[in-house]
A and B are shown apart, each in its own frame.
Chain A
Amino acid sequence: ADSIWRLDDSLRLTSEHLFNNNIVKGRAILESTPLSELLGRVELPELLTLDGQISNELNYEFELETQALSGKVSGELVNSFGSYDDIAFSDINAGWSCFWRMAKLSCGQLGLSSGQVNVGVNITDMQSRGTFFWDKNNWWYHLNSFKGKLLDGGFSITPLEVAPGQDISGELILEHISLTDLVALQQQPGIELTGFIDGKLPFSYNADGLNINRGKLLNQGGGLIKVDGNPAVEELKKSQPQLKFSLDALKELHYQYLDSEVSMMSDGSTLLKVSVQGKNPDLVEPVHFNYQHDENLFLLLRTLRLTERLSENIEKAINK
């Protein structure tokens, strides 16, 4: 029996069913359908908006004697976009391919082939590959790879496992992160920084949230630090004149060596310790600069999302 039927006016679902020598075989194909039509039936979390085109194919076999059901499900979500609270994501393409046999579900392919999210810092070209397993008393998700681009460089996460009741731990690898872009996040006038850093940031995720413990950031190939005309630093020079000489050394510091350590608690409070060794052309002595930066990373990112939205609104207002 071959049938094309619609669940309701929107869903294009075609299915074929074949019955011979005690086995029922069938296939159901959901052609590319707007996600919003499917989601209309589902209670999405309050702050989540989501859309895109979804397509899926189900092949199944049901043996009447043994009552054994086995099947294959594969499909993809294309050009998906949306937002969660004030975090926007777009051009998400995801795919899945799973098998069902003897009450066990195993997805050999589950992942993103593209995606972009703006958390205050724009993360682009996201890609991930993972596998998923489920049976009635256990499940686990294994992340093989997750990578993307940000701050003129890239990030990747070492393979990790997610299972019920288990903390998640792994390492965030950063490559060729531009210090110029990084400093620009602070939107502080009178501070210039060039050079790139690579990083290894061990993280753990548990009921309290995400922690980064003693991540290392190392510089490759030196660069330049210019702290000249920054209001806060100028204020410091006025209020503590004895610091003026050494702070002036930062007006032009060519560094060959930059090493830093970063840790973040689950509430977002982040401590960055940087040590820099270099030369100021006007000074004979070498310069050792130890900088400690204490800030809540989540609040910084949210402020950046806020300023971005403000500039978008201003642009819209201007283009009206």
Chain B
Amino acid sequence: LTLKDAKSSGYLGEQADGYLGLVKENSEAKALMLSVNKKRLARFKAIAKKNKTSVADVAALAGEKFINKTAKGNYIKTSSGKWKKK
């Protein structure tokens, strides 16, 4: 299961905090989500360190960006916490 497929088939979606969220229960998608989020955190930490800023702000900026760049038809989590198709 690739990340692209997991998103297009509605298992995973982007959240404002910069991390992937589980839209529909699926063990394979969940495992993929956990591993991708772990890699994202490592990258956010590296970016935060390099720009001498906080991980929280890098993740928040990432969230904003990832939601904007999410393909039509894929899921994003709205500020009220509900999943919505873009």
Contact = CB atoms under 8 A, between A and B. Distances in A.
Nearest to B57: A302
Interface residues of A, number: 14
21 contacts: A46-B41, A47-B55, A47-B56, A85-B48, A85-B54, A85-B55, A85-B56, A86-B48, A86-B53, A86-B54, A87-B54, A207-B81, A208-B79, A302-B53, A302-B54, A302-B57, A305-B54, A306-B52, A306-B53, A309-B52, A310-B52
Interface of A: 46-47, 85-87, 207-208, 298-299, 302, 305-306, 309-310
A297 to B, nearest CB: 13
Contacts of A302: 53-54, 57
Interface residues of B, number: 10
Contacts of A85: 48, 54-56
Contacts of A47: 55-56
A85 B49 CA distance: 10
Contacts of B53: 86, 302, 306
The CB with the most chain A CB atoms within 10 A, among B41, B48, B53, B54, is that of: B54
A149 B84 CA distance: 45
Lowest 5 A-B CB distances belong to which pairs? A85-B54, A86-B54, A306-B52, A85-B55, A85-B56
Nearest to A47: B55
Given A85-B54, A86-B54, A306-B53, 14 more contacts: A47-B55, A85-B48, A85-B55, A86-B48, A86-B55, A207-B81, A208-B79, A299-B57, A302-B53, A302-B54, A302-B57, A306-B52, A309-B52, A310-B52
A258 B81 CA distance: 43
A85 B53 CA distance: 9
Nearest to A46: B41
Interface in B56-86: 56-57, 79, 81
Contacts of B79: 208
Interface string B23-54: 00000000000000000010000001000111
Contacts of B41: 46
